[in-house]
Amino acid sequence: MNTHPLAHSPVPLSARQRRLLERYVELLLAWNRRVNLTAAASAEELYTRHLLDALSLVPIVEARLIPGRLVDVGSGAGLPGVPLAVARPAWRVTLVEATGKKVRFLRAVVAELALDNVQVRHGRAEDVAHERDHREAYDVAVARALAKLPVLLELCLPFVRVGGYVVAPKGPEPDEELRRATRALELLGGHVEEVLPVRLPQVSGTRTVILVRKVRPTPANYPRPPGRPAKRPLLPQQD
Ligand code: SAH
């Protein structure tokens, strides 16, 4: 008999937590037939490439700090924010997502799973990060598949308090993105603390997780207005 993919979780899960994650996968597959939420087609793929990937961030974060508040920027269908919130009910998790149909799904998940540590915020990071309740209010910002690092940093660092972290899962070769992020780091108050290789149990190849520590406050003019960070990324002079 095959073992359940969640048996490979990098963090221990109670029977209840497993049930919640299974329900999340069911909801994702059911909604995905009607509204396009994710390219992942099967439960197997959701577990191995998405849920375990999200859960792999828990020990990485906890090796540095125990977050009170964590924001998932561009959460999409809830990744990595929903698995993190299930695995760590003491973290208060905000999911920021710009697309209405995804926000409707996220609200349905939060209601159905009764996740009382999750807040869903419909909006663009460029706007939400300027609001008083969100600005430099988080210990950790995570963002998966949101944008290349210079853009991701402009959308994420403004949410994070000095001393907190941006945690960005990336592909096997993030060197080019890192090189292009030097100016964004300088302007926004970030410092690349570590680039960790991460291996997933049932997926071949190595990924990386970029850990950026917030070392100075972000100037009030960042993030720039909606669309600007992606259109005119904060790149080094020569690029
Ligand atoms: N993190 C998810 C989704 C990645 S796709 C995952 O790993 O599966 C990127 C998501 O970010 C999309 O859902 C898109 O609507 C959202 N997004 C892109 N730019 C955004 C912005 N500026 N503010 C908020 N959400 C944004």
pLDDT in tens, 125-149: 999 999 999 999 999 999 999 999 9
Q: What percent of the chain has pLDDT above 70?
A: 99
CA of 230 to the centre of ligand 1 (A): 12
DSSP summary character for residue 16: H
CA of 76 to the centre of ligand 1 (A): 5
Q: Is residue 1 predicted with pLDDT exceeding 50?
A: no
C-beta of residue 91 within 8 angstroms of C-beta of residue 82:
no
SS3 133: coil
Please name which of 55, 75, 167 lies closest in space to residue 121, comparing C-alpha atoms. Answer: 75
SS3 14: coil
* pLDDT for res 30: 95
Token duo for residue 160: 């994070």
- Ordered alpha helix ranges (H), 15-80: 15-32, 43-45, 52-55, 57-62
CA of 26 to the centre of ligand 1 (A): 21
Confidence of residue 178 (pLDDT cuts 50, 70, 90): very high
End-to-end CA, the chain = 53
For residue 238, being part of any structural domain is answered with: no
**In whole angstroms, what is the distance from residue 97 CA to residue 104 CA?**
10
Determine whether the shortest distance from the Cβ of 55 to ligand 1 is under 6 A: no
Highest mean pLDDT among 34-38, 39-43, 219-223: 219-223
Q: Is residue 201 predicted with pLDDT exceeding 80?
A: no
Atom 9, ligand 1: residue with shortest CA distance: 146
Q: What is the CATH number of the domain that holds 94?
A: 3.40.50.150
For residue 173, being part of any structural domain is answered with: yes
For residue 237, being part of any structural domain is answered with: no
* pLDDT for res 20: 98
Structure confidence by residue, pLDDT tens digits, 3-23? 788 999 999 999 999 999 999
DSSP letters, 75-114, are: -TTTTTHHHHHHH-TTSEEEEEE--HHHHHHHHHHHHHTT
Determine whether the shortest distance from the Cβ of 190 to ligand 1 is under 6 A: no
DSSP summary character for residue 238: T
C-beta of residue 217 within 8 angstroms of C-beta of residue 199:
no
Confidence of residue 2 (pLDDT cuts 50, 70, 90): low
Domain that holds residue 113: 5-231
For residue 214, being part of any structural domain is answered with: yes
Neighbours of 55 (CB within 10 A): 23
**In whole angstroms, what is the distance from residue 44 CA to residue 126 CA?**
34
Q: Sheet of 160-170: strands edge to edge? A: 118-122, 92-97, 69-73, 138-142, 160-170, 206-214, 190-199
The mean of the pLDDT values for the chain is 95
Domain count, the chain: 1
Q: Please state, in angstroms and as integers, the Cα–Cα distance from residue 30 to each residue in 27, 43, 75, 122, 163, following that order.
A: 5, 11, 18, 22, 40
